Amino acid sequence: MAAQEQPGGTSTATPAAFVAASQVFNGIVALFYLKIVESNVGPAGFGSVNAMIAAMFVLGSGLFQPFEQEMSRRVAERVALGEGTGPQVRSAAAVFGGCVAVLLAIVVALGPVLSARVFPGEPGVYGALLVGVVAFAGTHFARGVLAGAGRLPAYGIWFLIEGTVKIFAALTLGMVGVTSSWAYALAAGMAALMAGVVAAVSAVAYFRGDGPEMDPAGVRSTLGGLVASSLLLALLINGAPIAVKVLAGSESKEAAARFIAGLVLVRAPLNLILTAQAVLLPRFSAPVVRCRFSALRHDLSRLGLALAAATAAATAGATLLGPWAIQLLLGPEFVELKRIDFAVLAASSFVLIGAMVASQALIALGGFSKLWTGWAAGVIAMVVGCLMPISLFHRVELGLMLSSVCSACVIAVHTQGALSTRERSGQTM
């Protein structure tokens, strides 16, 4: 793809490359972190830490990713029009604070039930989950402001700090002989919290100054559809490890932990969409606010071709190298998946990435009220797959593939319809 312009008018090529490199670093570090956890807490504890991280993403990202998307879109529009961001950011921050308070109250109230069901006998892991949810909430708001303002280097630093703190904490715990899963789970939550503080400090400047006022009711209306969409998407991305852990019988818990390890490895590219969202939503919003819809259509076509090629390459690579990578990173005892399993998981992951890219265009086009239907179709398909009368692991794989394809098709139809409508009317939002 050719270098594009930031909302402020400068090229995004180098900053976007930095964010991508930071995300790759974070992903590699995450794999080593998981290896350290497995070496010190065993398969059962490893499964609990993985489930905690998945739940942290479902709650933290599921509920607060919409703030990142909305702030990125609104700040990018203000910057593109040469207007101040202060009133917009402050109004959204007030809504954000209320949402965080409500979520914490609910999670604390449901703590005993959720802890007993997902983390039996490990209340410390649930405490680590609370820390992680708060950290991800603040992180998403700050990163949305930074992405919309074109501050991609500051955005990318989050991944560097989070990964570095997490791996050093895990190494330290391992060196002193800590074998409690809650300690490693807390390391993940605290790493996200420390990185989030740095991101928030970088975004403070955009709270100041004048600019167009924003009705908080408008923010709440937009966020309603985005929150529903984000929760459903978070379930699609992170629900599989939780489903495997909950559905596995007591006699197959270790096999489930090995399956989760392979699942986490193969679906690691889904995390790279965080990088894409930091660049794509402001990138899609700029031509929309200027009514340059043909440029947006051309950009989407090129991205679609690139993703198709990436899907084919990733599926082939996972088929050939998946078992070897698991053995290298986690040891031969974790080789649970066969080559066909790696192929299905890789293909479903990249189809879902395609749906996530299209969703950013739909958000830029104002299709908030339609986006959730695509992810809802995926969740329904996931449930259907998991209910099939086949082995547990094959049920999950089938559910992942069906959910990715269904979501991609529904969102593609909505995006095409929204773009065609806007082209005919020639109007911005």
Q: Would you say 88 and 168 are in contact if contact means Cβ atoms under 8 Å apart?
A: no
Please name which of 4, 6, 137, 140 lies closest in space to residue 60, comparing C-alpha atoms.
Answer: 137
pLDDT number for residue 1: 41
User: Which CA distances in Å does 312 have to 81, 283, 344, 350, 401?
Assistant: 40, 26, 11, 9, 15
pLDDT number for residue 171: 95
In the 8-state DSSP scheme, what is residue 5? B
Q: What is the DSSP string of 357-415?
A: HHHHHHHHTT-HHHHHHHHHHHHHHHHHHHTSSS-HHHHHHHHHHHHHHHHHHHHHHHH
Query: How would you write the pLDDT of the chain (429 residues) with one tens digit per residue?
Result: 444 444 444 445 577 778 878 888 888 888 889 889 988 987 778 878 888 887 887 788 777 877 887 788 778 777 777 777 777 777 777 778 888 888 888 878 877 777 777 677 777 888 888 899 899 988 988 888 888 888 888 888 999 999 999 999 999 999 999 988 899 999 999 999 999 999 988 888 777 767 666 666 666 666 677 778 877 887 887 777 777 766 766 546 666 667 777 777 777 777 667 566 667 777 787 788 777 888 888 888 888 898 888 888 888 888 888 888 877 776 676 666 788 888 888 898 889 989 988 998 898 888 877 888 999 999 999 889 888 888 777 888 888 899 999 999 999 999 998 888 887 776 555
**Single-letter code of the amino acid located at 408:** A
Neighbours of 354 (CB within 10 A): 23
**Cα separation of 378 and 55, whole Å?**
18
pLDDT number for residue 168: 96
Q: Is 68 helix (H, G, I), strand (E, B) or coil?
A: helix
pLDDT number for residue 173: 95
pLDDT number for residue 218: 62
In sequence order, which residues have a C-beta less than 8 Å from that of residue 429 and are 6 or more positions away? 288, 289, 366
**Torsion (CA) 97, 200, 21, 66 in degrees, nearest 10:** 20
pLDDT number for residue 188: 93
